Structure 1
């Protein structure tokens, strides 16, 4: 891995192609916002010859030209694919956003990749690897995804590479910190006026060679005598870590017996351990300076990707069924097998239309063929189940804003597909005569509500179409038309996600919306028995209106709804008008009797009334029933009922106390805690929904990005009188 890669870079100006799965490497870059993922991708592209020294592709633009929103916000907000060629391999680099609000894009990248490269910035405090990054590491470990770590920003003053690699071993190695070890150590140049010595090269611990990048081109030199003691100490630990993961059980005894293990054996065992996901090397990288073509560590990183990361042949594909749910045999990564591909991202281009980024797991996808598109399981987020046939448009390979034509896409590779009008993120593409459905990947639940309304009549006409396109692109967003509050609610993952959704509506789909306060679904109920008399009598010439009814109202247990009982005797209310009274009562109950929220959990008994042989009518008795209910409400205490949610919060153990205290401050009742694996606890509580509208944001701040929660409706219960009074005041004032 240290000597074998003076590989030839790929040529700029054409789409990289793969003719067999073993020549493909799919790598997702993971790291917190600001860790340098996109800069690293640009450095790798420069070293591979995909861009020129100015960082631009041959026919203009840069590989980071993806979305105007990203440029305005100065951060990545979506998954992007950068394909490279290196040494006869096609490398698909999947650059993911580092901000927690866009974890859906990260999950899509993990689905499309076969290995993960965790990017850690040397500019941060050595002990401050973000908790969210550690959570993704655990997620990858759970599915056995191979991982490596690359340290960036080595040119930052006061960096401590040695300390940072030790911390990575402690945080990512778990019970075996020697499974996370550096392959290279940085070599520093002369100190500048600020006392900072920049990294100018790397020393290969296995090869004992210095790789000098000070001129912008990688050169090999022997180490200085002064560097040998530090090199040998780190080298011995690395060799022991590699041998501990070797399948050759005699290797450790031979090494401890004094045998000098040959370099090829060590590199072969290292690559196998990396591909199995049992050893995680740490590398260092930096962008090229002063017009150099090769950034520090980029050649070594490309060597690791092509030599140590697994091929698509080594990855177990997700399970498949028929669209009706019947099981099917496991897929193999065979270009001649049945076609099964998955849409991992959907985007809209103002000129091309909808573009779908797909990963082909089996078979070969070709342009202009008809495929079956299956989408199931996300109806709660606005995605209707569908099974349709669609014609594939052109296949392209993305590079910044460009789309370069690609002849076909074999199993294990990725490509963009144009003009799939019905396909959405998470959908399966398969042969039209053998439709299949892939098991969906885990999607985070959006828990931050955003209530919107069209800014103008013109916006109202375009709103539904704009929202439909947004939902098709982003399965982490949920669209709700609330039947109780009559609000259009977009459920998002956080404030940054919310801002991007609003900006896309405005700039991409031309829809201007106003945000309005989110309303929870309150209810009203009687706090004590009461009675009322409804009198609707009008005589103004011609046909009059005459209806009188008397009712009793009593509260019922929670969940009983509205119960109507007829106890009229002697025909005081004619039988044909009793349904009219009930209709009026139920209509008034739906409108509310106190603060404008639906009335629930009462029994209304019609006990008496009067009618007129000429002037009584269905409408008159409906009005009388409504009046009677309002009068009964005026004579009784009316309770406002608020929805209460069952909340489960999972956090590292050190945050359990602050989380429980915070939930109590939200009028929550903690009902229990339980362990959820090493170092993590689930806190279960019941919390009024009105108190957790922003909990998705607040929990992230409280737990430093390491907490997650889910919620489910439990019941409605009485709101405290003081708070209920404020709600009524707002209703009376029209707020």
Structure 2
């Protein structure tokens, strides 16, 4: 019966292929290429039936590759084309109106961009490649950081039309910083403006001579039909959805040999034996060439470049083979951890007992929590008990899953080097270390970028403030670059994130998943008040209309504090004018009154108050009476002591390309800032660091402004410096606004 089923399936496949091939011959231009996609989809359905069950692999058979690019280079399309080629999915969409397999969240579908990290495991020729599809837009760089912690190498996707872009450089810098091997795939070779060699030249200019093409295109733009393997000196041509090996056309042979010579030189440079052979004029064998290039890639000396079209699935098979050949295996990763019991450093090799790292968490109101784990050593099986070294607690595993987009596949066992998803680990969070109970090793958490865009949110519906906070906390569990805090002084819910688009995504997701709507409000600025002069004032609280009354009388001197303390209280009473038991009440009255502010309602700082004199009544005096008297004295005296408003000043370090220096400095001037200086960046040529001091009130929207001024190439960080006096005109505006609000 099974045999008959496959006979019928094969007849159906041949019939469909025949019809599609016939139709393809009758079409021209783009129609012909669209049919190639449909043929590829039909063929992949057959592979899909074989790939429905995830096989078991050894650590040596696993590759973990983070896929990075500038937004719009076709990164997700490349990942989905690879999934289709491997048969992990039955079909992918064609064109902008089709839904992606990897981008399935409503916000991703609406924007047609990747927002969150996704896993795409591919089984190909006896190997498993875990692709980590990442967002291309810089505001979601936290997802990229998480992916790089789980990856052993980077596939950098570059558009053949646009070339090196802003986030292409950022992605490259990530690889350099983390010392991860890098490989480039030049996508969109079918584009009208595609120019492989111009793109290659730009990459070499920006990234250096490590850029090494292992392939060159067979045609470009509408004439793009395949690739030439310069190592083997053969060509692969795609005709009507089918890949065929052909001889290198004569008009391409000279260029192919020239590029091959570059590859041989690069391969020989890192190996003395190969270098000697190369210098003696001998040609390296294919195995020697691959060995030399792989060693060069692992040390960062060589970055292989491939090319193709994700839209028409051209070059995907060869890309998979190059990843298997050149990328490090899951067994090669050696992590440095810390022994949780004695704090000593531990080298974690793949053969040791289980250890793993939670690099991402997702939370679903219905499905619960899903923990994404990179296994560094040992293995995991369903039902295992693992020790959460970070939280100091045990968790029992249920199913072990692998994901393709949102579709989960159960796997019975996962070895070192693999990436898995563990559902319903209730106490485990992103950044936690999991380990075998007998091997309590601890790994440092991911260093996520500091969120610098701060906004205040309020619930649209009254009474939903706690619901809003809880929703933001849950989102923060999934996205460490989203942080929430309650401002006690400002009585606000403050969200810190990476920018306006990130914030919009957070608010949309919060409404969809947790049913709470939020609106922005003006962010509270923690102004302070102080005095510049000295004054003495009397405060008398007297209510004596019969029976037990109230009486408190103090004389206070107010002056700037020389110690730098927020509020300094001194007792200068002589002769018992104010009894000892009432002096703490006077001090408390001073502290509470100054905390409420006497100019615009902000806390007063750097003020010294001295109790000089006073009087009391043996029956009617009380702590409350003296506390009230102190408040009355301050309300009289502070207006005579030259009160001023202070604002928080922050030191800003901005890292930018040199050509944007003028715009950035001019912008600081418009924000009432002062430039402290500038200097070349220590490690990056053409990059400068501008240092300035700016009032916090003027930094609203700076994340977006800097991105606009520098084409997204600028970064900055803030640190509190001190408080300074607010200009008189702005002080008047703030006082008026506070009075109106109150």
Compute the TM-score of the two structures, normalised by the length of structure 1.
Answer: 0.89
Is 1:183 paired with 2:209? no
Partners of 1:206 and 1:300 in 2: how far apart?
12
Partners of 1:216 and 1:501 in 2: how far apart?
41
> Which aligned pairs between 1:448-467 and structure 2 lie closer than 5 A?
448-467=453-472
Is 1:694 paired with 2:711? no
Q: Secondary structure at the match of 1:250?
A: helix
Deviation at 1:52, TM superposition (A): 1.8
Partners of 1:188 and 1:53 in 2: how far apart?
26
Partners of 2:439 and 2:263 in 1: how far apart?
50
The one-character-per-residue Cα deviations of 1:351-395 (angstroms, maximum 9, x if unpaired) are 3200011000011122222222233xxxxxxxxxx3222222211
Q: Secondary structure at the match of 1:338?
A: coil
Question: What residue is the counterpart of 1:676 in the other structure?
Answer: 682
Is 1:331 paired with 2:348? yes
Is 1:103 paired with 2:136? no
- Which of 640, 659, 663 is the matching residue for 1:658? 663
Partners of 2:99 and 2:252 in 1: how far apart?
43
Deviates more, 1:243-252 or 1:436-445: 243-252
Is 1:40 paired with 2:40? no
Question: What residue is the counterpart of 1:724 in the other structure?
Answer: 731
- Which of 303, 326, 334 is the matching residue for 1:308? 326
Is 1:169 paired with 2:204? yes
Is 1:120 paired with 2:138? no
Is 1:360 paired with 2:398? no
- Distance change in 2, residues 1:237/1:431 (3 Å): closer
The one-character-per-residue Cα deviations of 1:627-673 (angstroms, maximum 9, x if unpaired) are 21111122232111111222222223333443333333323333333
- Which of 274, 288, 297 is the matching residue for 1:265? 288
Is 1:24 paired with 2:42? no
Deviation at 1:488, TM superposition (A): 2.3
Question: What residue is the counterpart of 2:15 in the other structure?
Answer: none
The one-character-per-residue Cα deviations of 1:548-595 (angstroms, maximum 9, x if unpaired) are 322110012473221112223343333322222221111111110111
Question: What residue is the counterpart of 2:174 in the other structure?
Answer: 139
Partners of 2:429 and 2:739 in 1: how far apart?
45
- Which of 399, 404, 425 is the matching residue for 2:404? 399
Q: Secondary structure at the match of 1:676?
A: coil
> Which aligned pairs between 1:503-518 and structure 2 lie closer than 5 A?
503-518=508-523
- Distance change in 2, residues 1:253/1:530 (3 Å): same
Is 1:479 paired with 2:484? yes
Deviation at 1:261, TM superposition (A): 3.4
The one-character-per-residue Cα deviations of 1:458-506 (angstroms, maximum 9, x if unpaired) are 4224234323322222222233333432332121111122122222322
Deviation at 1:113, TM superposition (A): 0.6
Deviation at 1:61, TM superposition (A): 9.0
Assess if the C-alpha contact under 8 Å between 1:29 and 1:95 holds in 2: yes
Partners of 1:403 and 1:222 in 2: how far apart?
42
Question: What residue is the counterpart of 1:90 in the other structure?
Answer: 128
Question: What residue is the counterpart of 1:544 in the other structure?
Answer: 549
- Which of 239, 252, 256 is the matching residue for 1:231? 256
Is 1:214 paired with 2:239? yes
Q: Secondary structure at the match of 2:730?
A: helix
Assess if the C-alpha contact under 8 Å between 1:24 and 1:90 holds in 2: yes
Partners of 2:328 and 2:567 in 1: how far apart?
62
- Which of 367, 386, 400 is the matching residue for 1:371? 386
Assess if the C-alpha contact under 8 Å between 2:558 and 2:641 holds in 1: no
- Distance change in 2, residues 1:66/1:427 (3 Å): farther
Assess if the C-alpha contact under 8 Å between 2:188 and 2:311 holds in 1: no
Q: Secondary structure at the match of 1:586?
A: helix
Deviates more, 1:233-242 or 1:419-428: 233-242
Partners of 1:74 and 1:324 in 2: how far apart?
48
- Distance change in 2, residues 1:265/1:718 (3 Å): same
- Distance change in 2, residues 1:728/1:374 (3 Å): farther
- Distance change in 2, residues 1:230/1:13 (3 Å): closer
Assess if the C-alpha contact under 8 Å between 2:381 and 2:414 holds in 1: yes
Assess if the C-alpha contact under 8 Å between 1:146 and 1:278 holds in 2: no
Q: Secondary structure at the match of 1:315?
A: coil
Is 1:649 paired with 2:657? no
The one-character-per-residue Cα deviations of 1:206-226 (angstroms, maximum 9, x if unpaired) are 222221113112111113323
- Distance change in 2, residues 1:374/1:713 (3 Å): farther
Is 1:581 paired with 2:586? yes
Deviation at 1:539, TM superposition (A): 4.6
Compute the TM-score of the two structures, normalised by the length of structure 2.
Answer: 0.88
Assess if the C-alpha contact under 8 Å between 1:11 and 1:85 holds in 2: no
Assess if the C-alpha contact under 8 Å between 1:9 and 1:85 holds in 2: no
Question: What residue is the counterpart of 1:292 in the other structure?
Answer: none
- Distance change in 2, residues 1:707/1:62 (3 Å): closer
Assess if the C-alpha contact under 8 Å between 2:586 and 2:626 holds in 1: yes
Q: Secondary structure at the match of 1:726?
A: helix
Question: What residue is the counterpart of 1:382 in the other structure?
Answer: none
- Distance change in 2, residues 1:234/1:108 (3 Å): same
Question: What residue is the counterpart of 2:20 in the other structure?
Answer: none
- Distance change in 2, residues 1:509/1:332 (3 Å): same
- Distance change in 2, residues 1:323/1:640 (3 Å): farther
Deviates more, 1:241-250 or 1:109-118: 241-250
Deviates more, 1:356-365 or 1:487-496: 487-496
- Distance change in 2, residues 1:12/1:585 (3 Å): farther
Deviates more, 1:455-464 or 1:105-114: 455-464
Partners of 2:465 and 2:547 in 1: how far apart?
44
- Distance change in 2, residues 1:516/1:387 (3 Å): farther
Assess if the C-alpha contact under 8 Å between 1:23 and 1:89 holds in 2: yes
Partners of 1:420 and 1:646 in 2: how far apart?
41
Which stretches in structure 1 are left out of the alignment for 5+ residues?
1-6, 190-195, 290-294, 376-385
Assess if the C-alpha contact under 8 Å between 1:532 and 1:552 holds in 2: yes
Assess if the C-alpha contact under 8 Å between 2:132 and 2:147 holds in 1: yes
Question: What residue is the counterpart of 2:278 in the other structure?
Answer: 252
Question: What residue is the counterpart of 1:419 in the other structure?
Answer: 424
Question: What residue is the counterpart of 2:108 in the other structure?
Answer: 70
Question: What residue is the counterpart of 1:381 in the other structure?
Answer: none
Question: What residue is the counterpart of 1:343 in the other structure?
Answer: 358
Is 1:200 paired with 2:222? no
Partners of 2:586 and 2:532 in 1: how far apart?
23
Deviation at 1:145, TM superposition (A): 1.2
Is 1:322 paired with 2:339? yes
Assess if the C-alpha contact under 8 Å between 1:10 and 1:85 holds in 2: no
Partners of 1:409 and 1:515 in 2: how far apart?
45
- Distance change in 2, residues 1:157/1:724 (3 Å): same
Partners of 2:91 and 2:733 in 1: how far apart?
64
Question: What residue is the counterpart of 1:150 in the other structure?
Answer: 185
